[in-house]
């Protein structure tokens, strides 16, 4: 009998080739292990293919921007009873000068809020509209209310002295805020 690994003549009773170490005979356990490891190899190849698909997305948009861009971003975090924490990031503008100017401006305009509450909401639906009424007791005028519409939600912020109101209203993307009004401590929002 010839060894399938090196081609030399070997005895049939040998399990391994004495010249190259190739396994000539396969016993019951060896065949089970080979099948298990073949299955592992197939599974790992499938996992590798899935991982390659997951990591294919590569954002190269930053390489298309002009090199000398200028800009800044401002992040304001407000906690109950504490002054707002302001973080300023800038690129192309001296950071210290911008940060000082922004912090001075914002400190003058942002009041310290002692409590933040979620206003009570009443929702009604008509044929083609959804009406939302938010109770904002203590809010004096519409100037104290900020309504920001996003693609799938509307954020409502309101100030009433040292109290703030905050509410996120989720909505389907096809609905838009078409009307808003404030009277008698209630904010009326109409979506269509």
User: How many CB atoms are closer than 10 A to CB 45?
Assistant: 10
189 with 135: CB under 8 angstroms? no
pLDDT digits (tens, 9 = 90+) for 85-98: 777 777 666 667 66
Burial of 156 (0-12, 13-18, 19+ CB in 10 A): buried
Say which CATH topology domain 115-191 has: Immunoglobulin-like (2.60.40)
Residue 161, classed as helix, strand or coil, is coil
* Per-residue model confidence (pLDDT) at position 150: 84
pLDDT digits (tens, 9 = 90+) for 33-81: 777 888 888 888 887 777 665 555 555 565 555 566 667 677 777 776 6
**What are the residue ranges of CATH 2.60.40.790 in the chain?**
115-191
pLDDT digits (tens, 9 = 90+) for 127-165: 888 999 999 999 999 998 999 988 888 899 998 888 889
* Per-residue model confidence (pLDDT) at position 15: 83
The span from the CA of 43 to the CA of 45, in Å, is: 5
CA angle centred on 62, ends 61 and 63, rounded to 5°: 90
Reported as half-sphere exposure (CB side, CA atoms, 13 A), residue 86 has a value of 18
The region of weakest confidence among 3-7, 22-26, 107-111 is 107-111
pTM over 0.85: no
* Per-residue model confidence (pLDDT) at position 59: 56
* Per-residue model confidence (pLDDT) at position 145: 92
């Amino acid at each position: 009998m010839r060894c399938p690994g090196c081609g030399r003549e070997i005895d049939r009773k040998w399990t391994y080739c004495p010249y190259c170490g190739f396994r000539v005979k396969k016993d019951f356990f060896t065949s089970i292990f080979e099948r298990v490891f073949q299955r592992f190899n197939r599974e790992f190849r499938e996992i590798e293919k899935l991982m390659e698909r997951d990591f294919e997305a590569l954002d190269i948009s930053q390489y298309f921007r002009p090199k000398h861009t200028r800009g800044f971003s401002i992040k304001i975090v407000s906690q109950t009873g504490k002054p707002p924490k302001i973080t300023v990031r800038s690129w192309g503008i001296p950071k210290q000068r911008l940060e000082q100017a922004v912090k001075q401006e914002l400190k003058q305009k942002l009041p310290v809020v002692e409590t933040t509450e979620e206003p009570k909401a009443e929702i009604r639906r008509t044929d083609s509209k959804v009406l939302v009424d938010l109770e904002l007791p203590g809010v004096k005028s519409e100037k104290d209310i900020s309504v920001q519409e996003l693609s799938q939600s509307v954020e409502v912020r309101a100030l009433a002295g040292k109290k703030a109101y905050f509410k996120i209203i989720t909505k389907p993307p096809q609905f838009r805020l078409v009307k808003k009004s404030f009277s008698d401590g209630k904010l009326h929002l109409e979506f269509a």
